[in-house]
């Protein structure tokens, strides 16, 4: 089987594009594995403090009753505005 010049260049272009895609995906995966919370690959870091929510297994068992009551009241108010709770 003999390849023409155009077929060879097309095959070479496909190999180069596939290689570039693999390098980009690999770089992104490495960045994601080493990035801190709120860190971006492209662009500036967001202003303010970045935080993560603790998992349920590591969260403390203490419950702030005042905050929970206020949250429930605001949730009920939101649902009445949507017509979900009458």
From CA 86, how far away is CA 79, in angstroms rounded? Answer: 9
* Residue given tokens 């693999």 in the structure block: 22
Q: Which residue would you say has higher pLDDT here, 14 or 38?
A: 14
| Of 45, 41, 43, the residue nearest 27 (C-alpha) | 41
What is the model's pTM?
0.47
**Intra-chain end-to-end CA distance of the chain, in Å:** 77
Query: Which tokens go with 52?
Result: 């993560």
**Model confidence pLDDT, tens digit, residues 25-59:** 999 999 888 887 777 777 776 676 666 666 766 66
Measured torsion, CA atoms of residues 76, 79, 81, 85, in degrees rounded to the nearest 10? -90
């Amino acid at each position: 089987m003999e390849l023409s010049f155009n077929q060879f260049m097309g095959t070479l272009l496909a190999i180069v594009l596939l290689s570039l895609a693999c390098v980009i995906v690999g770089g992104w995966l490495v960045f994601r594995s080493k990035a801190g919370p709120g860190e971006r690959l492209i662009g500036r870091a967001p202003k303010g403090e970045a935080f993560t929510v603790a998992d349920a297994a590591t969260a403390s068992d203490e419950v702030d009753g005042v905050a929970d009551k206020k949250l429930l009241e605001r949730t009920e108010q939101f649902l009445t505005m949507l017509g979900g709770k009458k």
